[in-house]
Amino acid sequence: MNLYEKLVNKEEKISLIGLGYVGLPIAVAFAKKADVIGFDVNKQKINLYKKGIDLTKEVGNEVIKNTTVEFTTDEARLREAKFHIVAVPTPVKNDHTPDLTPVESASRTLGRNLTKGSIIVFESTVYPGVTEDICVPILENESGLTCGVDFKVGYSPERINPGDKIHRLETIIKVVASQDEESLDTIAKVYELVVEAGVHKAESIKVAEAAKVIENSQRDINIAFMNELSIIFNKMGIDTKAVLEAAGTKWNFLNFSPGLVGGHCIGVDPYYLTYKAEQMGYHSQIILSGRKINDDMGKYVAENTVKKMIKANKQINGAKVAIFGVTFKENCPDVRNTKVVDVIKELEEYGVDVKVVDPQADKEDLWREYRINLCEVEGIKEMDAVIFAVPHNEFKTIRLEELKMMFGSTGYINVEAMNEVAATSEFDIDLDRKDCVLMDLKGMFNRKQAEDAGFVYWRL
């Protein structure tokens, strides 16, 4: 009986090393078909999972409560598994060079607990060569075993899109690769247990590593192009969204839009590829140019906010600005590498008092990473400018009339009560005021309606 059959018959176990936005959904999916050990070094995270709390919001509390995944921080439990999936983050350092610390640490932990006959599949995004040139030697050194003889190694890049309820693990074709045909066949069969869309067998581990890193690099470059167009059209006094809507009527025009590019993938992965290219003697031109444009967009937004406030006769030093949304993307609690923070820091350098509203953001991560506290929407009042940075679903119900209240002394008011409150003399509300600066980065509001309502309006 081979390893695949033993996993299906629950005679052997699967382990997931790293239970974040990627690893947790994978663990939960496999637990429906096999016995799964979910390992993470973060004790607080594991304790929450054991209590049925999904801090990633990727699978939901109810699913966590009912899953059969055995959550643990005890690395010795990894010895019970024969099929290991490593799904730890691969960030970049402050100088934009790869930080392989998490994947190296995971390799050491797994190596200490590796048994003969195991297969290890890395899912972490890396540059071509990391799995075989860096991870394998660590596994061999820690375990005393020989790769290719005592254990096999494969690679299957993660493609989960945090916050996306349509493109999930089950619905995205899974790229798989391994060091030989036998283990590749096993890896493919194991993933086919949970991936309904099927698998694509890459011809080598390096090919699979490269495929992953260019997926996000391509998206990064396309968004950078949109951001550059936004800068150009802004100078021309042309609305970028209107231009893209017109151009988008052509069948082969790609559907991208300008915005802040953060997160743990698109804003990071291109640097892995350019780092390796530099080692090979080639200096990237297109990829790094796109990265520079996207990395500078936070400052660009802050500068335009200040310009619009000056146009509205606002005193900049001491001004109050509310930012709606601080996560790296909509409808997701993840704040890792969010570029909204760049906007906040730049505004604070002008002496602006910034308040942040985000019903989705992980409050603990936000404080630990950036020392930012969240404000409730009810506390947003007497603002000089409001920036909608992330289009969470919760923000889409806010109407311009309600928004106008945030610039008055009463603060945020439910729209049903707005007319009654506005007519009450004890409140200082002027719905016709023309100095309300609205920075609508993703075009959530109708531009003409906003301008007709008296807003000083701007968007990317």
Q: Which pair of structure tokens corresponds to residue 308?
A: 């619009």
Q: Do the Cβ atoms of 415 and 286 come closer than 8 Å?
A: no
Instruction: Give which of 191, 209, 171 is closest to 8, Cα–Cα.
Output: 191
What sign does the dihedral 422-423-427-430 (CA atoms) show?
A: positive
The mean-pLDDT minimum among 57-61, 86-90, 237-241 falls in 57-61
Q: Which pair of structure tokens corresponds to residue 453?
A: 């309502």
Confidence band for 423, pLDDT divided at 50, 70 and 90:
very low
CA 406 – CA 402 distance, rounded (Å): 7
Question: 230 by DSSP, 3-state: which?
Answer: helix
Mean pLDDT, residues 155-161 taken together? 84
Q: What is the pLDDT of residue 132?
A: 96
The values of phi and psi at residue 154, to 5°, are: -135, 175
Instruction: Give which of 336, 9, 37, 22 is closest to 156, Cα–Cα.
Output: 22
Q: What is the pLDDT of residue 271?
A: 92
Confidence band for 431, pLDDT divided at 50, 70 and 90:
low
Residues comprising the chain, all counted: 460
Helix (H) or strand (E) holding 415: helix 415-422
For residue 153, pLDDT over 60 is answered with yes
Question: 184 by DSSP, 3-state: which?
Answer: helix
Mean pLDDT, residues 66-74 taken together? 93
- Using one digit for the tens of pLDDT, what is the confidence trace for 192-207? 999 988 999 999 999 9
Q: What is the pLDDT of residue 80?
A: 95
- The single-letter DSSP state of residue 377 is G
Strands 385-388 and 455-458, sheet pairing: unpaired
Residue with tokens 């008296």, as numbered in its chain: 454
The 10 Å CB-count burial string (b at 16+, else e) for 222-249 is ebbebbbbbbebbeeeebbbeebeeeee
Q: Which pair of structure tokens corresponds to residue 432?
A: 């016709």
- What's the whole-model pTM score? 0.86
Question: 318 by DSSP, 3-state: which?
Answer: coil
CA 248 – CA 69 distance, rounded (Å): 45
Q: In Å, how far from its chain's centre is CA 409?
A: 36
CA 107 – CA 134 distance, rounded (Å): 9
Distances (CA, A) of 15 to 64, 65, 122: 17, 19, 12
Q: Annotated catalytic residue: which of 135, 147, 265, 375?
A: 265
Q: In Å, how far from its chain's centre is CA 376?
A: 23
Told to judge if 436 belongs to the known catalytic residues of this protein, a careful annotator would answer: no
- Using one digit for the tens of pLDDT, what is the confidence trace for 326-343? 998 888 888 888 999 999
Confidence band for 418, pLDDT divided at 50, 70 and 90:
very low
CA 251 – CA 242 distance, rounded (Å): 17
- Using one digit for the tens of pLDDT, what is the confidence trace for 288-324? 999 999 999 999 999 999 999 999 999 999 999 999 9
